[in-house]
Protein backbone atom coordinates (compact mmCIF):
# COMPACT_ATOMS: atom_id res chain seq x y z
CA UNK A 1 0.00 0.00 0.00
CA UNK A 2 2.95 2.35 0.61
CA UNK A 3 3.08 3.77 -2.92
CA UNK A 4 -0.65 4.53 -2.85
CA UNK A 5 -0.78 6.40 0.44
CA UNK A 6 -1.95 10.03 0.17
CA UNK A 7 1.43 11.64 0.98
CA UNK A 8 3.62 9.22 -0.95
CA UNK A 9 6.47 11.14 -2.59
CA UNK A 10 6.49 13.93 0.00
CA UNK A 11 9.78 14.42 1.87
CA UNK A 12 9.73 15.97 5.36
CA UNK A 13 12.82 17.21 7.18
CA UNK A 14 11.98 16.65 10.82
CA UNK A 15 14.07 18.67 13.29
CA UNK A 16 11.74 17.99 16.22
CA UNK A 17 12.19 16.46 19.65
CA UNK A 18 10.17 14.50 22.22
CA UNK A 19 6.47 14.56 21.35
CA UNK A 20 4.49 17.34 19.64
CA UNK A 21 6.74 17.46 16.58
CA UNK A 22 7.55 13.74 16.38
CA UNK A 23 3.85 12.94 16.80
CA UNK A 24 3.10 15.27 13.89
CA UNK A 25 5.71 13.68 11.61
CA UNK A 26 4.55 10.19 12.66
CA UNK A 27 1.08 11.03 11.34
CA UNK A 28 2.63 12.26 8.09
CA UNK A 29 4.72 9.07 7.84
CA UNK A 30 1.63 6.90 8.26
CA UNK A 31 0.03 8.86 5.43
CA UNK A 32 2.98 8.01 3.21
CA UNK A 33 5.52 10.83 3.63
CA UNK A 34 9.26 10.15 3.79
CA UNK A 35 10.45 11.50 7.15
CA UNK A 36 14.13 12.39 7.41
CA UNK A 37 14.78 13.01 11.08
CA UNK A 38 17.62 15.50 11.60
CA UNK A 39 19.24 14.78 14.98
CA UNK A 40 22.04 16.28 17.00
CA UNK A 41 25.20 14.16 16.65
CA UNK A 42 25.83 11.85 19.58
CA UNK A 43 22.62 12.66 21.48
CA UNK A 44 19.70 12.84 19.07
CA UNK A 45 16.09 13.33 20.04
CA UNK A 46 15.71 13.74 23.82
CA UNK A 47 12.96 11.10 23.69
CA UNK A 48 15.68 8.52 22.97
CA UNK A 49 16.53 8.64 26.67
CA UNK A 50 12.94 8.73 27.98
CA UNK A 51 11.02 5.63 29.01
CA UNK A 52 10.49 3.03 31.74
CA UNK A 53 13.41 0.75 30.69
CA UNK A 54 16.82 2.18 31.68
CA UNK A 55 18.62 -0.21 29.34
CA UNK A 56 16.72 1.11 26.34
CA UNK A 57 17.29 4.69 27.46
CA UNK A 58 21.04 4.08 27.59
CA UNK A 59 20.89 2.60 24.09
CA UNK A 60 19.16 5.76 22.79
CA UNK A 61 16.00 3.74 22.15
CA UNK A 62 13.72 4.94 24.94
CA UNK A 63 10.08 3.89 24.79
CA UNK A 64 8.96 7.47 24.16
CA UNK A 65 11.14 7.55 21.05
CA UNK A 66 10.13 4.11 19.81
CA UNK A 67 6.43 4.98 20.05
CA UNK A 68 6.56 7.99 17.70
CA UNK A 69 9.38 7.33 15.25
CA UNK A 70 8.78 4.08 13.42
CA UNK A 71 9.24 4.32 9.68
CA UNK A 72 11.48 7.41 9.83
CA UNK A 73 15.09 7.91 8.76
CA UNK A 74 17.75 9.34 11.10
CA UNK A 75 20.54 11.67 9.97
CA UNK A 76 22.99 13.36 12.36
CA UNK A 77 23.73 17.00 11.57
CA UNK A 78 25.28 19.78 13.64
CA UNK A 79 23.87 23.04 12.30
CA UNK A 80 26.84 24.91 13.76
CA UNK A 81 29.29 22.90 11.64
CA UNK A 82 30.10 24.20 8.13
CA UNK A 83 30.09 20.80 6.39
CA UNK A 84 26.90 19.74 8.15
CA UNK A 85 25.23 23.03 7.23
CA UNK A 86 26.05 22.39 3.58
CA UNK A 87 24.46 18.94 3.83
CA UNK A 88 21.44 20.44 5.56
CA UNK A 89 20.99 23.04 2.85
CA UNK A 90 21.14 20.36 0.18
CA UNK A 91 18.40 18.49 2.01
CA UNK A 92 16.30 21.66 2.28
CA UNK A 93 16.53 22.20 -1.48
CA UNK A 94 15.08 18.73 -2.10
CA UNK A 95 12.47 18.74 0.68
CA UNK A 96 8.77 19.45 0.59
CA UNK A 97 8.35 20.23 4.30
CA UNK A 98 10.58 21.35 7.14
CA UNK A 99 9.17 20.74 10.62
CA UNK A 100 10.68 22.05 13.87
CA UNK A 101 9.55 22.55 17.46
CA UNK A 102 12.30 24.72 18.93
CA UNK A 103 11.54 27.80 20.97
CA UNK A 104 10.54 30.73 18.79
CA UNK A 105 13.52 32.17 16.95
CA UNK A 106 16.02 29.38 17.65
CA UNK A 107 16.27 28.15 14.07
CA UNK A 108 16.52 31.73 12.80
CA UNK A 109 19.46 32.35 15.17
CA UNK A 110 21.15 29.36 13.61
CA UNK A 111 20.81 31.13 10.28
CA UNK A 112 17.73 29.34 8.98
CA UNK A 113 14.76 31.61 9.45
CA UNK A 114 11.81 31.47 7.07
CA UNK A 115 13.31 33.98 4.63
CA UNK A 116 16.52 31.95 4.27
CA UNK A 117 14.67 28.64 3.93
CA UNK A 118 12.24 30.13 1.41
CA UNK A 119 15.16 31.44 -0.65
CA UNK A 120 16.78 27.99 -0.64
CA UNK A 121 13.51 26.34 -1.70
CA UNK A 122 10.53 28.51 -2.69
CA UNK A 123 8.26 25.43 -2.66
CA UNK A 124 9.18 24.51 0.91
CA UNK A 125 6.44 24.34 3.53
CA UNK A 126 7.93 25.40 6.86
CA UNK A 127 6.04 24.41 10.00
CA UNK A 128 7.14 25.61 13.45
CA UNK A 129 5.42 24.14 16.52
CA UNK A 130 6.03 26.00 19.78
CA UNK A 131 4.37 26.58 23.11
CA UNK A 132 3.05 30.04 22.30
CA UNK A 133 3.75 30.70 18.63
CA UNK A 134 6.39 32.79 16.91
CA UNK A 135 4.86 36.16 17.90
CA UNK A 136 3.43 37.76 21.02
CA UNK A 137 4.85 38.58 24.46
CA UNK A 138 5.18 34.92 25.51
CA UNK A 139 6.88 33.69 22.33
CA UNK A 140 10.26 33.08 24.00
CA UNK A 141 8.92 31.44 27.17
CA UNK A 142 9.80 27.76 27.67
CA UNK A 143 6.87 25.37 27.53
CA UNK A 144 6.18 21.71 28.10
CA UNK A 145 2.82 19.97 27.89
CA UNK A 146 2.00 20.51 31.56
CA UNK A 147 2.76 24.24 31.31
CA UNK A 148 0.32 24.55 28.41
CA UNK A 149 -2.32 22.48 30.17
CA UNK A 150 -2.17 24.88 33.08
CA UNK A 151 -2.16 28.11 31.09
CA UNK A 152 -4.97 27.00 28.77
CA UNK A 153 -7.42 26.47 31.63
CA UNK A 154 -7.51 22.74 30.95
CA UNK A 155 -6.24 21.77 34.39
CA UNK A 156 -8.78 24.04 36.09
CA UNK A 157 -11.67 21.91 34.78
CA UNK A 158 -10.01 18.53 35.32
CA UNK A 159 -10.87 16.71 38.53
CA UNK A 160 -13.52 17.50 41.12
CA UNK A 161 -14.08 20.73 43.06
CA UNK A 162 -11.94 19.17 45.80
CA UNK A 163 -9.10 17.88 43.60
CA UNK A 164 -8.80 20.36 40.72
CA UNK A 165 -6.58 21.59 39.19
CA UNK A 166 -5.29 18.30 37.83
CA UNK A 167 -3.12 17.48 34.86
CA UNK A 168 -4.82 15.36 32.20
CA UNK A 169 -3.30 11.89 32.46
CA UNK A 170 -1.52 12.00 29.09
CA UNK A 171 0.23 14.80 27.15
CA UNK A 172 -2.90 16.08 25.45
CA UNK A 173 -1.53 19.53 24.56
CA UNK A 174 1.48 18.00 22.82
CA UNK A 175 -0.78 15.59 20.98
CA UNK A 176 -3.31 18.18 19.87
CA UNK A 177 -0.52 20.52 18.77
CA UNK A 178 0.99 17.72 16.68
CA UNK A 179 -2.34 16.84 15.11
CA UNK A 180 -3.09 20.43 14.15
CA UNK A 181 0.39 20.78 12.68
CA UNK A 182 -0.05 17.61 10.61
CA UNK A 183 -3.45 18.80 9.37
CA UNK A 184 -1.99 22.20 8.49
CA UNK A 185 0.93 20.66 6.60
CA UNK A 186 -1.41 18.43 4.61
CA UNK A 187 -3.57 21.47 3.78
CA UNK A 188 -0.49 23.49 2.77
CA UNK A 189 0.64 20.69 0.46
CA UNK A 190 -2.78 20.72 -1.17
CA UNK A 191 -2.58 24.50 -1.55
CA UNK A 192 0.90 24.29 -3.04
CA UNK A 193 -0.40 21.98 -5.75
CA UNK A 194 -2.42 24.98 -7.00
CA UNK A 195 -0.02 27.88 -6.31
CA UNK A 196 3.39 26.22 -6.57
CA UNK A 197 4.51 28.23 -3.53
CA UNK A 198 5.54 27.21 -0.04
CA UNK A 199 4.12 28.77 3.11
CA UNK A 200 5.18 29.36 6.71
CA UNK A 201 2.98 27.64 9.33
CA UNK A 202 3.15 28.93 12.93
CA UNK A 203 1.48 26.46 15.34
CA UNK A 204 0.86 27.49 18.96
CA UNK A 205 0.22 24.70 21.48
CA UNK A 206 -1.56 27.16 23.77
CA UNK A 207 -3.98 28.13 21.01
CA UNK A 208 -4.53 24.59 19.72
CA UNK A 209 -5.26 23.45 23.28
CA UNK A 210 -7.85 26.16 23.82
CA UNK A 211 -9.38 25.37 20.44
CA UNK A 212 -9.70 21.70 21.44
CA UNK A 213 -11.48 22.42 24.72
CA UNK A 214 -14.87 22.70 23.04
CA UNK A 215 -17.74 23.75 25.25
CA UNK A 216 -15.42 24.36 28.22
CA UNK A 217 -14.21 27.45 26.36
CA UNK A 218 -17.21 28.21 24.14
CA UNK A 219 -19.72 28.34 27.00
CA UNK A 220 -17.69 31.15 28.49
CA UNK A 221 -17.01 32.94 25.21
CA UNK A 222 -20.63 32.80 24.07
CA UNK A 223 -22.59 32.94 27.31
CA UNK A 224 -20.15 34.14 29.96
CA UNK A 225 -20.57 30.90 31.93
CA UNK A 226 -17.24 29.79 33.36
CA UNK A 227 -16.72 26.00 33.47
CA UNK A 228 -16.11 24.24 36.75
CA UNK A 229 -14.48 20.89 37.49
CA UNK A 230 -17.12 18.16 37.64
CA UNK A 231 -15.03 15.02 37.91
CA UNK A 232 -16.55 12.24 35.84
CA UNK A 233 -19.78 14.09 35.04
CA UNK A 234 -20.68 15.91 31.82
CA UNK A 235 -21.85 19.49 32.35
CA UNK A 236 -23.93 19.52 29.17
CA UNK A 237 -26.31 16.67 30.01
CA UNK A 238 -27.59 14.22 32.62
CA UNK A 239 -27.37 11.33 33.09
CA UNK A 240 -23.96 11.57 31.49
CA UNK A 241 -20.90 10.41 33.36
CA UNK A 242 -19.52 7.49 35.36
CA UNK A 243 -21.81 5.17 37.31
CA UNK A 244 -21.37 1.97 39.31
CA UNK A 245 -22.42 -1.42 38.02
CA UNK A 246 -22.26 -4.63 40.07
CA UNK A 247 -18.54 -5.14 39.47
CA UNK A 248 -17.15 -1.72 38.66
CA UNK A 249 -17.50 1.60 36.85
CA UNK A 250 -19.60 2.18 33.75
CA UNK A 251 -19.82 5.25 31.54
CA UNK A 252 -23.31 6.21 30.39
CA UNK A 253 -24.07 9.16 28.13
CA UNK A 254 -27.87 9.27 27.74
CA UNK A 255 -27.71 12.80 26.37
CA UNK A 256 -30.88 12.71 24.28
CA UNK A 257 -34.41 12.45 25.61
CA UNK A 258 -35.13 9.17 23.83
CA UNK A 259 -31.89 7.71 25.18
CA UNK A 260 -32.86 8.67 28.71
CA UNK A 261 -36.30 7.09 28.32
CA UNK A 262 -34.74 3.89 26.92
CA UNK A 263 -32.29 3.81 29.82
CA UNK A 264 -35.13 4.08 32.32
CA UNK A 265 -36.97 1.22 30.63
CA UNK A 266 -33.91 -1.07 30.61
CA UNK A 267 -33.19 -0.22 34.24
CA UNK A 268 -36.78 -1.29 34.99
CA UNK A 269 -37.38 2.19 36.36
CA UNK A 270 -39.85 3.74 33.87
CA UNK A 271 -41.05 6.00 36.67
CA UNK A 272 -37.85 8.03 36.42
CA UNK A 273 -38.83 9.22 32.94
CA UNK A 274 -42.10 10.68 34.25
CA UNK A 275 -40.69 12.13 37.47
CA UNK A 276 -40.91 15.94 37.30
CA UNK A 277 -37.38 16.21 38.65
CA UNK A 278 -36.05 14.38 35.59
CA UNK A 279 -38.57 15.31 32.91
CA UNK A 280 -36.20 17.15 30.59
CA UNK A 281 -32.52 17.90 30.14
CA UNK A 282 -32.41 21.04 32.30
CA UNK A 283 -34.40 19.42 35.10
CA UNK A 284 -32.07 16.42 35.09
CA UNK A 285 -29.03 18.69 35.27
CA UNK A 286 -30.51 20.55 38.25
CA UNK A 287 -31.26 17.28 40.03
CA UNK A 288 -28.20 15.36 38.93
CA UNK A 289 -27.22 13.91 42.39
CA UNK A 290 -30.68 12.47 42.98
CA UNK A 291 -30.88 11.02 39.48
CA UNK A 292 -27.41 9.49 39.69
CA UNK A 293 -28.27 7.84 43.01
CA UNK A 294 -31.36 6.21 41.48
CA UNK A 295 -29.42 4.98 38.46
CA UNK A 296 -26.55 3.58 40.53
CA UNK A 297 -29.00 1.59 42.65
CA UNK A 298 -30.61 0.08 39.55
CA UNK A 299 -27.27 -0.73 37.92
CA UNK A 300 -26.28 -3.06 40.77
CA UNK A 301 -28.23 -5.90 39.16
CA UNK A 302 -25.69 -6.57 36.40
CA UNK A 303 -22.01 -6.29 35.57
CA UNK A 304 -20.59 -3.37 33.63
CA UNK A 305 -20.02 -5.57 30.56
CA UNK A 306 -23.61 -6.81 30.63
CA UNK A 307 -24.92 -3.26 30.85
CA UNK A 308 -22.57 -2.18 28.06
CA UNK A 309 -24.08 -4.83 25.80
CA UNK A 310 -27.70 -4.24 26.79
CA UNK A 311 -27.62 -0.48 26.62
CA UNK A 312 -25.50 -0.32 23.49
CA UNK A 313 -27.83 -2.70 21.64
CA UNK A 314 -30.71 -0.35 22.48
CA UNK A 315 -28.91 2.76 21.26
CA UNK A 316 -27.85 4.16 24.64
CA UNK A 317 -24.11 5.05 24.65
CA UNK A 318 -22.52 3.04 27.47
CA UNK A 319 -19.21 1.27 28.03
CA UNK A 320 -16.91 -0.04 30.70
CA UNK A 321 -13.96 2.01 31.92
CA UNK A 322 -10.83 0.10 30.99
CA UNK A 323 -7.21 0.31 31.95
CA UNK A 324 -4.69 0.97 29.18
CA UNK A 325 -3.67 -2.69 29.39
CA UNK A 326 -7.28 -3.73 28.79
CA UNK A 327 -7.97 -1.14 26.11
CA UNK A 328 -5.12 -2.22 23.83
CA UNK A 329 -6.51 -5.77 23.84
CA UNK A 330 -9.93 -4.78 22.47
CA UNK A 331 -10.93 -6.99 19.56
CA UNK A 332 -12.20 -3.88 17.78
CA UNK A 333 -8.61 -2.61 17.47
CA UNK A 334 -7.35 -5.99 16.30
CA UNK A 335 -10.01 -6.28 13.60
CA UNK A 336 -9.13 -2.85 12.20
CA UNK A 337 -5.38 -3.43 12.25
CA UNK A 338 -4.66 -0.52 14.59
CA UNK A 339 -1.41 -1.98 15.94
CA UNK A 340 1.56 -3.14 13.88
CA UNK A 341 4.47 -5.32 14.95
CA UNK A 342 7.79 -4.14 13.49
CA UNK A 343 11.37 -5.20 13.99
CA UNK A 344 12.90 -4.01 17.22
CA UNK A 345 15.95 -1.84 16.42
CA UNK A 346 19.19 -3.77 16.96
CA UNK A 347 17.51 -6.55 18.99
CA UNK A 348 16.17 -9.54 17.02
CA UNK A 349 14.94 -11.12 20.25
CA UNK A 350 12.15 -8.54 20.56
CA UNK A 351 9.38 -7.13 18.43
CA UNK A 352 7.97 -3.65 18.76
CA UNK A 353 4.24 -2.96 18.66
CA UNK A 354 3.29 0.53 17.55
CA UNK A 355 -0.02 2.23 16.97
CA UNK A 356 -1.61 3.55 13.81
CA UNK A 357 -3.72 6.68 13.69
CA UNK A 358 -7.24 5.31 13.34
CA UNK A 359 -7.53 5.98 9.59
CA UNK A 360 -8.28 3.36 6.96
CA UNK A 361 -7.61 4.27 3.33
CA UNK A 362 -9.76 2.23 0.96
CA UNK A 363 -10.33 -0.16 3.83
CA UNK A 364 -6.65 -0.61 4.67
CA UNK A 365 -5.08 0.56 7.93
CA UNK A 366 -2.15 2.96 7.72
CA UNK A 367 0.98 1.26 9.03
CA UNK A 368 4.61 2.33 9.59
CA UNK A 369 6.95 1.38 6.79
CA UNK A 370 9.67 0.10 9.12
CA UNK A 371 11.13 0.23 12.63
CA UNK A 372 12.35 3.37 14.42
CA UNK A 373 15.87 4.30 13.32
CA UNK A 374 19.09 4.05 15.24
CA UNK A 375 20.71 7.42 15.78
CA UNK A 376 22.39 8.39 12.51
CA UNK A 377 21.40 5.14 10.83
CA UNK A 378 20.86 6.85 7.48
CA UNK A 379 23.80 9.26 7.46
CA UNK A 380 25.39 7.66 4.40
CA UNK A 381 22.13 7.81 2.46
CA UNK A 382 21.43 11.50 2.97
CA UNK A 383 24.78 13.17 3.58
CA UNK A 384 27.51 14.09 1.11
CA UNK A 385 30.23 14.94 3.64
CA UNK A 386 31.39 11.34 4.10
CA UNK A 387 29.69 10.26 7.34
CA UNK A 388 29.46 6.52 7.82
CA UNK A 389 26.16 4.73 8.25
CA UNK A 390 25.55 3.90 11.90
CA UNK A 391 25.10 0.34 13.11
CA UNK A 392 23.66 -1.04 16.33
CA UNK A 393 24.90 0.61 19.55
The per-residue pLDDT for range 184-239, each reduced to its tens digit, is 999 999 999 999 999 999 999 999 999 999 999 999 999 999 999 999 999 999 99
Alpha helices in 162-303 (DSSP H): 172-195, 205-212, 215-223, 257-266, 271-274, 281-286, 288-299
One domain for residues 122 and 201: yes
**Is 78 annotated as catalytic?**
no
Task: Decide if 391 is inside a domain.
Answer: no
One domain for residues 71 and 186: yes
One domain for residues 7 and 104: yes
Q: Give CA–CA dist 49/109, Å, rounded.
A: 27
Task: Decide if 233 is inside a domain.
Answer: no
Question: Does pLDDT of 389 surpass 70?
Answer: no
One domain for residues 145 and 268: no
Task: Decide if 101 is inside a domain.
Answer: yes
Using CA atoms in the order 209, 35, 65, 376, what is the torsion angle rounded to 10 degrees? -140
**How many domains does one find in the chain?**
2
CATH number where 259 lies: 3.30.1540.10
Task: Decide if 328 is inside a domain.
Answer: no
Task: Decide if 326 is inside a domain.
Answer: no
Q: Give CA–CA dist 72/368, Å, rounded.
A: 9
Cα-to-chain-centroid distance, residue 219: 24
CATH number where 347 lies: 3.40.50.10540
Task: Decide if 225 is inside a domain.
Answer: no
**Residue 124: exposure state from Cβ atoms within 10 A (0-12, 13-18, ≥19):** buried
Compute the average pLDDT of residues 158-182: 96
Residue 3: its pLDDT value, please?
73
Task: Decide if 392 is inside a domain.
Answer: no
Structural domain for 61, as ranges:
2-212+335-382
One domain for residues 155 and 281: no
One domain for residues 182 and 65: yes
**End residue of a domain, out of 288, 320, 352:** 320
The whole-model pTM stands at 0.93
Exactly one of 174, 202, 247, 347 is catalytic; name it: 174
One domain for residues 162 and 273: no
- State pLDDT tens for residues 59-116: 999 999 999 999 999 999 999 999 999 999 999 999 999 999 999 999 999 999 999 9
Compute the average pLDDT of residues 253-259: 97
Q: Give CA–CA dist 191/379, Å, rounded.
A: 32
Residue 1: its pLDDT value, please?
47
**Distances, alpha carbon 86 to alpha carbons 78, 79, 93, 315, in Å:** 10, 9, 11, 61
**What rounded mean pLDDT belongs to the chain?**
95
Amino acid sequence: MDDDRPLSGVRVLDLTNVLAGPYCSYQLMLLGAEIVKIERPGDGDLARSLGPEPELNRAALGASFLAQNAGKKSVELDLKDAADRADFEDLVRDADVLLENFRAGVLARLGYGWEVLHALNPRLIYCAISGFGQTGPMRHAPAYDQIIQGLSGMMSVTGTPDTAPLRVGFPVSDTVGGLVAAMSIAAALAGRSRTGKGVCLDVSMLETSLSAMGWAASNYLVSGVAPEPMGDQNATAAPSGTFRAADGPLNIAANRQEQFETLCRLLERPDLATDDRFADREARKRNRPALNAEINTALRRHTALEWERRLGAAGVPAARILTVAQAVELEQLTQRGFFTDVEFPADPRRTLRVSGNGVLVDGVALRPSGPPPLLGEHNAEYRTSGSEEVTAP
